[in-house]
Amino acid sequence: MLKVLLLFVLLIAGIVVGPMIAGHQGYVLIQTDNYNIETSVTGLAIILILAMVVLFAIEWLLRRIFRTGAHTRGWFVGRKRRRARKQTEQALLKLAEGDYQQVEKLMAKNADHAEQPVVNYLLAAEAAQQRGDEARANQHLERAAELAGNDTIPVEITRVRLQLARNENHAARHGVDMLLEVTPRHPEVLRLAEQAYIRTGAWSSLLDIIPSMAKAHVGDEEHRAMLEQQTWIGLMDQARADNGSEGLRNWWKNQSRKTRHQVALQVAMAEHLIECDDHDTAQQIIIDGLKRQYDDRLLLPIPRLKTNNPEQLEKVLRQQIKNVGDRPLLWSTLGQSLMKHGEWQEASLAFRAALKQRPDAYDYAWLADALDRLHKPEEAAAMRRDGLMLTLQNNPPQ
């Protein structure tokens, strides 16, 4: 607009000034090698003005042409974006329906023009993997990696997820190790790390991320407690596989006092030692645990023990009865231990004390065995009958 105004000013000036200097037009000579151009000053001014008008006209025409081209390109691009948005919405509906073939097709088509093309390609990759088409999944994943630039975390998370789906567990573990270095508290990375570490037996690594899982609120407290228990048992399995009972003892010795005082780990350790035929060490762990705090779980491995010094354990059990009072599991466990070395009378008294507090089919059976040894067949038969009636009562025929 300013240029047009300037042009009109020049034209008006020419119209006003031209007649004034018409009688004094002057002389202008432009000489080249082959041509001589002669004109007046007024004529030169008119030529310059006309040249400017032509230039302005050409500029205006070119601007209109390019602006029209830009509008045309913008219309086509906008059309593709609208189509990509619509196809993405349709793909999400198909995802809810479980139609992964359509999900992949709609997500990948016009994905380059979508609002989040990386997301489209990643979802297309997962849909292809759900169909079992690993080649297409890899193709979409690589395209997403090209578009992601420096923000590679979503791409690498999807890569690990695909590897786990293909049971490429060690590759997935390598992937989560790298992701944890970049984003150690990312909830999805921690969930994937849990799967990868369990599958590859990386128990130490799994134990290391449990505090981060708590801070990131991955799983509830019960789940994390079960996971920690599974991790410790996995470490015990590794120690036993490497060096047997000696490896287990050394591993247990190297743990912190806090770890060794966990009842669940004491029970698991005793069971592992029993499986290694190291009953004396298993008994000592149980005794240490009972002396520190009573817990029913510590009694469960006792019937499987075969030690040369059962009296030590029986003494501890009797002391527990005095400390915590009559408990049926305590009396039953004591009775089973007494039976192992022929203390039939004491065993029968222990089973009677247990049955006095609650009926139990197993205690009836063990009491009957003890009574047989004491040559009391009628009473033994009565105990077996009571045990059978209790079993039928608890498990009625269908």
Q: How far apart are CA 329 and CA 354, in angstroms?
A: 7
Residue written as token pair 């019960």: 222
Quote the domain boundaries for residue 294.
Answer: 220-308
**CA 239 centroid distance within chain:** 27
| 302 and 362 together in one domain | no
In a domain? residue 127: no
Tens digit of each residue's pLDDT, the chain (398 residues): 556 656 666 665 665 566 555 555 566 666 676 777 666 666 666 777 777 777 777 877 777 776 755 555 554 445 666 776 777 777 677 777 878 788 777 777 777 677 788 888 888 898 899 888 899 999 989 998 888 888 889 999 999 999 999 999 999 999 999 999 999 999 999 999 999 999 999 999 999 999 999 999 998 999 999 999 999 999 999 999 998 999 999 999 999 999 999 999 999 999 999 999 999 999 999 999 999 999 999 999 999 999 888 899 999 999 999 999 889 999 999 999 999 888 999 999 999 999 999 999 999 999 999 999 999 999 999 999 998 998 888 877 66
Q: Shortest CA distance to 337 belongs to which of 303, 367, 306?
A: 303
Dihedral sign (CA 92, 97, 103, 106): negative
The CA angle 70-72-73, to the nearest 5 degrees, is 65
Show the DSSP H helices in the chain as ranges. Answer: 2-20, 41-97, 100-108, 117-130, 134-148, 153-165, 169-182, 187-200, 203-215, 221-253, 257-260, 263-275, 279-292, 310-324, 328-340, 344-357, 361-373, 377-394
Residue 151 lies in a domain: no
Q: Do 317 and 397 have their domain in common? A: yes
The residue among 308, 341, 360 that closes a domain is: 308
Q: Which pair of tokens denotes residue 357?
A: 């507090």
Q: Is residue 210 part of a domain?
A: no
Is there a single domain that holds both residue 330 and residue 250? Answer: no
Length of the chain: 398
